[in-house]
Structure 1
Amino acid sequence: MKKLTMKKGGDCHACLECVIACSQAFYKEFDPDKSCIQITEKKGAIKPMVCIQCGKCAKACEQGAIKQNAKGVYMIDKKLCVGCGKCVEACPFGVMVMPAEASAPTKCIACGICAKACPMEILEVVES
């Protein structure tokens, strides 16, 4: 299974370079609300919130528009998606996004653009 992870012992400085890279890749603009990676703070620790490819979005999709590919990444078939947003609501990590002007949501596809943009080199795409 291919997925984006944070390296153990990695120290996020909340520079937002990963967030910028993701929103630029999908929407050609910097807007943190359009990024499939979010920076969160819990118990004083800053860390990127990433899609772990759990499949809850696919289970919530009544149209069958979200399917797992051969590498284990859940992908959205925009031809089947009706834009209802149930998958966005089902995402336990809040990293599926659907801007008001979009006809379909966006989710992490483990492309690695955010990992390449991270100056701290704490993100990586792994196959497990």
Structure 2
Amino acid sequence: MKKLAVTDKGACMACRSCELACAGAFYKNDDITLSCIQIGEKDRKTTVSFCVQCGKCAKACESGAITQNAQGVYLINKAACVNCGKCLDACPFKVVVKAADKPAPTKCIACGICVKACPAEILYIKQDEAASA
């Protein structure tokens, strides 16, 4: 299975470069609330939230617009999406996002744009061998 991973969440500098890169790639916008990776804080510690490709969004999707590809990545078919918002509610990490002016939400597709943007070099794309065989 291909997915985003973090080597050391404690090493995150909360610079938000990953969020800016993601929002820019998907929405051509610097609104970090539209990023599929979210940097936050809990108990005075930086948190890094991202899609773990669990499939809960796909199970909640009433139109079947979210499917898993051969690499284990869940993708949203924007043409099939009915914009019900159930995938946003189902995501345990709240990283399925939607801009008000767009017809469908977005989620992490393990593209690596955030990885390239991270100055701390703590993000990487993980490829489980068992899923790719």
TM-score band, normalised by the shorter chain? over 0.9
Query: Which TM-score applies when normalising by structure 2?
Result: 0.93
CA offsets, 1:67-106, max 9 Å, x none? 0000000000111101111100100001000111110000
> How many Å apart are 1:44 and its aligned residue?
2.3
CA offsets, 1:32-86, max 9 Å, x none? 1111010021222213211000000000001000000000000001111011111
Following the alignment from structure 2 to structure 1, what is the Cα–Cα distance between the partners of residues 88 and 5? 20
Give 3-state SS (helix, strand or coil) of 1:104's partner: coil
Contact 1:53–1:72 at 8 Å: present in 2 too?
Answer: yes
Equivalent residues, number: 128
Indicate the structure with greater helix content.
Answer: 2
- Alignment correspondent of 1:66: 66
Asked if 1:96 corresponds to 2:89, the answer is no
CA RMSD between the two structures: 1.0
Following the alignment from structure 1 to structure 2, what is the Cα–Cα distance between the partners of residues 92 and 83? 19
- Alignment correspondent of 2:131: none
Which deviates more, 1-10 or 30-39? 1-10
Following the alignment from structure 1 to structure 2, what is the Cα–Cα distance between the partners of residues 10 and 115? 16
- Flag structure 2 segments of 5+ consecutive residues without an equivalent: 129-133
- Alignment correspondent of 1:3: 3
Give 3-state SS (helix, strand or coil) of 1:67's partner: strand
Greater than 2 Å deviation, 4+ residue runs: none
Distance verdict in 2 for CA 1:80–1:42, change over 3 Å: same
